[in-house]
Structure 1
């Protein structure tokens, strides 16, 4: 990874992340189970390498940093649980676009927690993004599709996922300046998997008994969006500013919507497209001022 230019790494990660919503839609397993196995299998792929090659980094990890990384994993778990569930209630285009409002929340969090100045352009971008989200919600509600009546609930879950993703990016940008990639993601993914496992048990959802097709989808989510998606994003956070990463993540809705059109025959209505463009414009304006 040290030899890979960050823009190339970000492009690879966005391509990998764009497949996530499609893989989730193809799966018939409960969303929390899908999220759990995606994170668990990603952890199982990376942790052995981390333990072999980064023992000294694990020993040097402070209690404070380990605790913050564990809390970051909790935020990631909520992100996954909320976003995966939103895909059962709203369209791929709306869900993926709304979950990518995270740069807006990054800007707000930076102001409240890091005492960074928020400009008029930032406020304008936040307002524009939220207006676009409202347009998308109304569009889905009036679309007449099978998801129309439940779209506001799904959109709210996607927004919650975006908020938790912002917490994940902000914490990652801070911790990755002093923690090696694999030890960091091992702690984050481990904490995330434990939280998702608790949610599985709390809901009485079975962990086994799924057909081979589902297990293949779980592995595909771990290799694609897990290893080449989120893990590469965490690598990039040590090399480029969080705002650059946030803006790059805006490519995911475009890729996911295109894949949904090609593979799911899910055609977004004109108002949904318009709302999505407004959201992306607002997010881009917000992130650019960062």
Structure 2
């Protein structure tokens, strides 16, 4: 950590913890809800970045951001109920509130949403630090801390890293090399030059790609409610992010 000193070191460690909790909650959500619901909800991270920007990087909320937040909140509610409600004979049928909060899909959706909050913290700290810290020292600390925290959580939950088929380890290695080393490092590189809102906008490709892959590989067909909620969330994130982009443009 010689390249990162004082308060910056503490923040980098915090960023690693946020990243670890993001993965822990998001990946855990897939045990309880569908891929589409999980990815759509975790992709609300750009909205939380915009909401927290006035506090962390002193950027005021614009009208576009407020509209986008409202649209996305409605979409989140729709996606949340889509796993337990259905259309039948032109009517929307849902279980009672007590039955709803006990459902596994609700737990999964909530975990995915918490994952979005953790991702927002990770991105905001990254934006704060990457302006003055080069990429390699930053990701060395963040990824290292995240790996340690996730290892602790794995053993605390009674899981083990051994005894799986060779193909499983191949997929795990690919996950580390492609989404993490290449994907997240690209995000962290961009945070040194672009605002967190701009960088988080690129997360919008995840729900679309995941929905397509889930349909092809897992035969997960999204419901009408889920599609409608997902469209609202994506539209809200787009509106909010465009507002951030316009606010960042120099005034002529």
- TM-score tier (shorter): 0.7 to 0.9
In structure 2, what is the equivalent of residue 117 of structure 1?
60
CA deviation after TM superposition for structure 1 residue 206, in Å: 1.7
CA deviation after TM superposition for structure 1 residue 112, in Å: 2.8
2:16 matches 1:73: yes
CA deviation after TM superposition for structure 1 residue 143, in Å: 5.0
2:190 to 224, 231, 236: 236
2:239 matches 1:272: no
Say if 1:243 and 1:288, in contact at 8 Å, map to a contact too. Answer: no
2:37 to 69, 78, 94: 94
Say if 2:63 and 2:243, in contact at 8 Å, map to a contact too. Answer: no
SS of equivalent to 2:200: helix
In structure 2, what is the equivalent of residue 137 of structure 1?
80
- Of 67-76 and 206-215, deviating more is 206-215
Provide TM-score, normalisation by structure 1: 0.76
2:201 to 247, 257, 264: 247
CA deviation after TM superposition for structure 1 residue 190, in Å: 0.7
2:119 matches 1:165: yes
2:176 matches 1:222: yes
How far apart, CA to CA, are the structure 2 residues paired with 1:249 and 1:272? 19
2:27 matches 1:84: yes
In structure 1, what is the equivalent of residue 166 of structure 2?
212
How far apart, CA to CA, are the structure 1 residues paired with 2:25 and 2:4? 30
Q: 5+ unaligned residues in a row in structure 2: which ranges?
A: 88-99, 245-252
CA deviation after TM superposition for structure 1 residue 128, in Å: 1.0
In structure 2, what is the equivalent of residue 198 of structure 1?
152
CA deviation after TM superposition for structure 1 residue 213, in Å: 1.5
- Superposed CA deviations along residues 129-169 of structure 1, whole A, max 9, x for unmatched, are 0110110111111259xxx9411111100000000101111
How many residue pairs get aligned? The number is: 230
**Cα RMSD (Å) of the superposition?**
1.6
How far apart, CA to CA, are the structure 2 residues paired with 1:85 and 1:174? 28
CA deviation after TM superposition for structure 1 residue 241, in Å: 2.2
- Superposed CA deviations along residues 150-200 of structure 1, whole A, max 9, x for unmatched, are 111111000000001011111111111111111111100111111111112
SS of equivalent to 2:2: helix
When Rg is computed on C-alpha atoms for both structures, the one with the higher figure is: 2
CA deviation after TM superposition for structure 1 residue 64, in Å: 2.0
